[in-house]
Structure 1
Amino acid sequence: MIFEKGQRVVFIGDSITDCGRRDHAAPYGNGYMSLVQAFVTAAHPELGLTWVNRGVSGDTVRDLAARWERDVIEQRPDWLSVKIGINDVWRFFQDRPDQAVPLDEYTTTLRGLLADTVERTGCRLILADPYLIESDHGDPQYVMTAEYAAVVRTLAADFGARHVAVQAAFDRVLASTTPVDWADDRIHPNLAGHAVIARAFLETLS
Structure 2
Amino acid sequence: MIVEGIVLFQERQHVVFIGDSITDCGRRDSYAPFGNGYMSLIRAFVTARRPDAHLTWTNQGISGNTVRDLAARWERDAIEARPDWLSVMIGINDVWRAFTGQLDEAVPIDEYERTLRALLTRAVQATGCRLILADPYIIEPDRDEPQRAESDRYGKVVAALAAEFDAVHVATQQAFDQALSSTRPSDWADDRIHPNLAGHAVIADAFLQAIDTTD
Bin the TM-score by the shorter chain. Answer: over 0.9
CA distance in structure 1 between the partners assigned to 2:91 and 2:123 by the alignment:
19
37, 47, 52: which one aligns with 2:58:
52
Partner of 1:121: 127
CA distance in structure 2 between the partners assigned to 1:76 and 1:203 by the alignment:
25
CA distance in structure 2 between the partners assigned to 1:56 and 1:126 by the alignment:
18
Secondary structure of residue in 2 paired with 1:156: helix
Report the AA paired with residue 202 of structure 1: L
CA distance in structure 2 between the partners assigned to 1:135 and 1:11 by the alignment:
27
CA distance in structure 1 between the partners assigned to 2:90 and 2:108 by the alignment:
13
Report the count of equivalent residues. 206
Partner of 1:168: 174
Report the AA paired with residue 19 of structure 1: C
Partner of 2:194: 188
Listed as ranges, the matches of 1:109-148 within 5 Å are: 109-148=115-154
Query: Which ranges in structure 1 are unaligned for 5 or more consecutive residues?
Result: none
Task: Give 1:135 shift.
Answer: 1.3
Partner of 1:74: 80
Secondary structure of residue in 2 paired with 1:52: strand
Partner of 1:15: 21
Task: Give 1:12 shift.
Answer: 0.0
Residues 60-116 of structure 1: per-residue CA shift (max 9 Å, x gap) = 000000000000000000000000000000000000000000000000000000001
Secondary structure of residue in 2 paired with 1:96: coil
Query: Percent identity, aligned pairs only?
Result: 67
Partner of 1:100: 106
CA distance in structure 1 between the partners assigned to 2:155 and 2:143 by the alignment:
14
CA distance in structure 2 between the partners assigned to 1:135 and 1:121 by the alignment:
39
TM-score, normalised by the number of residues in structure 2: 0.95
Secondary structure of residue in 1 paired with 2:15: strand
Alignment RMSD (CA, Å): 0.3
TM-score, normalised by the number of residues in structure 1: 1.00
Residues 4-58 of structure 1: per-residue CA shift (max 9 Å, x gap) = 0000000000000000000000000000000000000000000000000000000
Partner of 1:84: 90
Q: Which runs of 4+ in 1 moved over 6 A?
A: none
